[in-house]
A and B are shown apart, each in its own frame.
Chain A
Amino acid sequence: MSDETKSPSPQPEGEKPSSDKIAGGISSGTPPPGGAKPPAPSEKPAVAPGATPPKPAAPGEKPAAAAAPAKPAAPAKPAGPTPQPWDSPLVAKLTKQFGSGIQPLTYLGQNYLQVDRSLIPTILQMLRDEEQFDYCVDITAVHYPKREKQFDIVWILYSFSKNERVRVKTQIADAEHIPSAVPIWAAANWLERETFDMFGIQFDGHPDLKRILLPDGWKGHPLRKDYGIIQQDQEWVQINLGIESGQ
C-alpha cells in the first residue's frame, strides 16, 4: 500500500514513454519513432523526442525494425484487454443450470467463473464430479478493503483428462464464512489453512483450521491490506522471543 514507488511522474495512459529521465540519458542512438504514438501533451513535449525507450538490450543496429513490431502492441496496452464472455459446452451447461448466478469470463486466454457465494459448494462439487476437474491447484484470496464484499476467494482447478484450467471466484464479506473444499479435494487442507492464516477467512467444515505458517498465538492476518508491512504482533514477539521488536 505504501506509495513509495508509485507514479513518480504523471503518466496518464500508462507506460510507453517510460521514465523520461533515464531514457533521455541514454537514448541518443535511437531515432525517435514518435509518429506512431504521439505522446500526450502533458508529457513534457520538450523531452519527448529523446524519451523513446531505447531498449538497452536490443542488438542495436536496426532500431527502426526493432521498434516497428512493438508499435501495434503499444496502443492496445494502455486500454488493456478486458475480460470477454467465455463460451463453451461447460459454460452452456452451467448457465442452463444456474442462470445468472455464474458469470463465465475469459481474460488473456484464461477462463474463470465468477460465482455467487451461495452456489460455491454445488459448483465446486459439480466441476470435480461431472467435469473431471480432479486437481485442485490452488486456493487463495485477494483483499479489497474498499469493497463492500471485501474478499475474493479463488480456486484454481485443473483437469488432467481435458488438460484445461479454470478459476472459480467468489466474493465474500469480512467475517463471512465459506464452505471448505476439503471433502472435495484433499489438497485443499493446507491451502485453506494458509488462506485462513493470511486473511482470516473461515472455512466451514475444515478438519483442522488453524494457522500454518505463522505461530498459533499470533494476532492479525498479514496479507490483509490494512496490515502494515513492518507490523508485527509485538506482544507475541516479546513473550516468545524476549525482545522488544523483531525489527
Chain B
Amino acid sequence: MTDPNSSVSHLELEESKKTFLDANELVINMGPQHPATHGVLRVILRLDGEKVMGLECVIGYLHRGVEKIAEHRTYTMFNPYVDRMDYVAAVSNGLGYCEAVEKLLNIEAPPRANYIRVILTELNRLASHQLWLGTHALDIGAMTPLFYTFRDREEILKIFEKYCGARLTTHAFRIGGCQYETYEGFEKDVKKFLTFVAPKIDEYEELLTTNRIWVERTKKVGTISAKDCIALGVTGPVLRASGVKWDLRKAQPYAAYKQFDFEIPTGQNGDTYDRYLVRMAEMRQSLRIIQQAVDAIPEGPIMAKVSKVMKPPVGEIYHSIEAPKGELGYFIVSDGSTQPYRIRVRPPSFVNLQALDLMCRGQLVADVIAVIGTLDIVLGEVDR
C-alpha cells in the first residue's frame, strides 16, 4: 500500500475502465533509470500508437532536503550545499545565494569581486550550455558534438580548478565577495580560452545547424507558445526561444551586469530547434561579457566587511538571478539568529519541467527524448 510505484496517477486512473484488448491507449513507463532522462526522472507516458497523448513526471528520487538542511546550518555553512543543486552550474547557484544573503545583510560585494563573479558565472553558463549541447545531441543521435563540447568544457573546468581548486562544485564565492584573489595569469588564461573557444562554437554549429537529421528531429518538435511559457512560469532559454525578450541580467541587473554590453537572443517558433539556436547565441553573448569583464576588471578589495558571525536582522528577502536554466531564486527568512529560519529555493528546472506534458502532447515517443533534452533540466535541482 505504500509502494511508490503502485501509486496510480490520474492518467492511469482515467484508463482503468478499459481492458487491455480494447485499449487504444497504452500507458508505459520510462525511467527513472534511463540514459535519456538526464538523471533520475521517471515519466509515465500515455500513448496512442506512437503518439503521446499525455504524460506525467514522477520526481523526487534525488531529494536531499536541502531546504531543511539550511535551517540547521549557519548562513556560511549552507553556502557549499547550494552547489549541489544544479551541479553543472554550481557557480550560478553560489552567486544567487551569496547575493541573496548580502541583500539581507544590507551589504554589497566590492566591484572587483563582482567582476570576478561575472567572469566565473559566464564561464559556467558556457560550460552548462556545452554540456547541454553534447548530451542533447547524443540523445537525438549525433554523437560527435559530445566529444567536441566535453573537450572544450574541460578548459573551463581547468580555469575553475586553478582558481579555487574544485572543478564542479566550486564554492567559488563567499557572502560578501570572493574568498580567493585571482591567481597569477588568470586574465591571460581566460583570454586564451576566449580565442580558443569562439571558433569551436562555430564548429558545433557546423555539425548541427544545417544538418538534415538534426533539423528534422528538432524543428516543430516540442513547440510551446510564449503565452503558455508565461502561464507555466517557464523561464530561461526556453522562454526566450518562444519570443519573449526577457533576461534577468537585463531586466533586474545584479552583480556587475549593468556595465556590460550584450544582447538577449530570442527565437520565434518556440520549438526545439529555436531553443538550440538561442543557446548557441547565448554562448557567444557570454563570450562577449567575459571579454568585457576581463578587459575592465578593476583593482581593489574582493571582500566586503562582513562579520564572522552573521546575524541578518529579522526580515525576509527574495533574490533571483538568471541561471543557465532560467530564473533561480532564493527566498530567505531570517529570525535574527545565525541560522536562516527558512530558505526556499526557486529552481528553474523544477518549474520548467512542468511544461514537459504540454510540450510532448501530440508528438512521437522519440520526441519526448528530444524535449527532455531541450528543457535542459538537472535533476539535482528539480529534487533538491
Instruction: Find the residue from B315, B316, B331 having the highest chain A CB count within 10 A.
Output: B316
Residues 123-146 of A at the B interface (beta carbon under 8 Å): 134-138, 140, 142-143
How many Å from the CB of B285 to the closest CB on chain A?
20
Q: Check: A156 CB closer than 8 A to any chain B CB.
A: yes
Q: Check: B138 CB closer than 8 A to any chain A CB.
A: no
Q: Check: A165 CB closer than 8 A to any chain B CB.
A: yes
Taken together as a complex, chains A and B put the C-alpha atoms of A216 and B60 apart, in Å, by 11
Taken together as a complex, chains A and B put the C-alpha atoms of A23 and B245 apart, in Å, by 48
Q: Check: B199 CB closer than 8 A to any chain A CB.
A: no
B73, B233, B331, B337: the one within 8 Å of A135 (CB): B233
Q: Mark A41-73, 1 if CB is under 8 A from B, else 0.
A: 000000000000101111100000011011001
Note all chain B residues with C-beta closer than 8 A to A23: 308
Q: Check: B313 CB closer than 8 A to any chain A CB.
A: yes
Given contacts A57-B177, A217-B1, contact A156 B346 (CB under 8 A): yes
Given contacts A208-B10, A215-B4, contact A14 B315 (CB under 8 A): no
Q: Check: B307 CB closer than 8 A to any chain A CB.
A: yes
For chain B, give the interface size range: 35 or more
* A53 close to B307 (CB less than 8 A): yes
* B338 close to A154 (CB less than 8 A): no
A137, A191, A229: the one within 8 Å of B72 (CB): A229
Given contacts A138-B344, A187-B232, contact A215 B2 (CB under 8 A): yes
Residues 64-99 of A at the B interface (beta carbon under 8 Å): 66-67, 69-70, 73, 76-81, 83
Taken together as a complex, chains A and B put the C-alpha atoms of A98 and B67 apart, in Å, by 35
How many Å from the CB of B49 to the closest CB on chain A?
26
* B231 close to A15 (CB less than 8 A): no
Q: Check: A2 CB closer than 8 A to any chain B CB.
A: yes
Q: Check: A173 CB closer than 8 A to any chain B CB.
A: no
Note all chain A residues with C-beta closer than 8 A to B310: 15
How many Å from the CB of A15 to the closest CB on chain B?
4
* B232 close to A58 (CB less than 8 A): no
Given contacts A160-B246, A186-B232, contact A154 B331 (CB under 8 A): yes
Q: How many A-B residue pairs have CB under 8 A?
A: 181
Instruction: Find the residue from B231, B311, B315 having the highest chain A CB count within 10 A.
Output: B311
B interface secondary structure, majority: loop
How many Å from the CB of B109 to the closest CB on chain A?
11
Q: Check: B320 CB closer than 8 A to any chain A CB.
A: yes
Q: Check: B63 CB closer than 8 A to any chain A CB.
A: yes
Q: Check: B158 CB closer than 8 A to any chain A CB.
A: no
Q: Check: A110 CB closer than 8 A to any chain B CB.
A: yes
Q: Check: B150 CB closer than 8 A to any chain A CB.
A: no
Given contacts A15-B310, A186-B231, contact A137 B305 (CB under 8 A): no
* B179 close to A57 (CB less than 8 A): yes
**Interface locus among B182-190, B207-215, B295-303:** B295-303
What are 29 A-B interface contacts by the 8 Å CB criterion? A1-B71, A5-B74, A7-B338, A15-B307, A16-B307, A18-B307, A18-B309, A19-B309, A53-B307, A57-B301, A58-B301, A66-B301, A77-B106, A80-B313, A108-B103, A135-B233, A136-B233, A142-B342, A156-B331, A160-B246, A185-B233, A186-B231, A190-B354, A211-B60, A223-B342, A229-B71, A239-B2, A240-B3, A240-B4
> Known pairs A16-B307, A80-B314. 16 more at Cβ < 8 A?
A18-B308, A58-B303, A134-B230, A137-B329, A142-B333, A154-B344, A156-B346, A165-B318, A167-B318, A187-B231, A187-B354, A216-B2, A216-B4, A217-B7, A229-B68, A240-B4
